[in-house]
A and B are shown apart, each in its own frame.
Chain A
Amino acid sequence: MTSTPSTFRRVRGCLIATLAYLATTAISVWLLKHQLAGASTVVRAVVSLLPMIAMAFVIREVLHLVRTSDELQRRIDLEALAVAALTVGLGCLSLSLLVAADVLALEGKTVLIWIFPALSVLYVLARIVAQARYQ
């Protein structure tokens, strides 16, 4: 991506949205555990999905960043996404095979909640490696 004021604005937007995500996640978890333990399923569902509003803003900022990137940056993004997606996908497949073979006992929610963070962290790491290759 080109280092324009627009880019910095988008990156700042991503950071703010990520912080909002973390804050709403903490609030949502606290509410569900302490205030809404006996609430209806609909209320609990709405509160549990509150952090997704912040994530929608992150997606919007990332999409804009990708669309305004030049061809090399897009190639780097594609390589990083491919590495991250395949690594997480194969990791999940490996875990499911181990669970099916009764070697591991994992709860579905434990695995599901780690997929997006794992994808994000691996994407950032793969992007750093891919970017270094072109410097």
Chain B
Amino acid sequence: MKNRLRDLRSANQWSQAELAERLEVSRQTINAIETGKYDPSLPLAFAIARLFGQSIEAIFHPDA
């Protein structure tokens, strides 16, 4: 699954560690999501969407 997490984070000028702290996850989790190596659970995807004030579909979208 592709996502715009890195772009959104950069737009807010947050480091991975800052974003991780806001979402209460590890920095490694943020990095894994940004690089597409890990797809977040639905609760975490909702938390990300809520943090950036966007819908899940606007941030995450399937490959293809």
- List chain B residues, Cβ under 8 A from A71: 25, 29, 40-41, 44
Among residues of B, the one whose C-beta sits closest to the C-beta of A70 is B25
Interface assignment of A33: CB less than 8 Å from any CB of chain B: no
B32-56 vs A: 1/0 string, CB under 8 Å?
1000011011001000000000000
| Tally of A interface residues using CB under 8 Å | 13
Q: How many residues of B contact A (CB 8 A)?
A: 14
A134 to B31, CA, bound (A): 8
A135:B25 contact, CB within 8 angstroms: no
B31 touches A73 (CB 8 A): no
Q: A residues touching B (Cβ–Cβ < 8 Å)?
A: 1-3, 69-73, 75, 131, 133-135
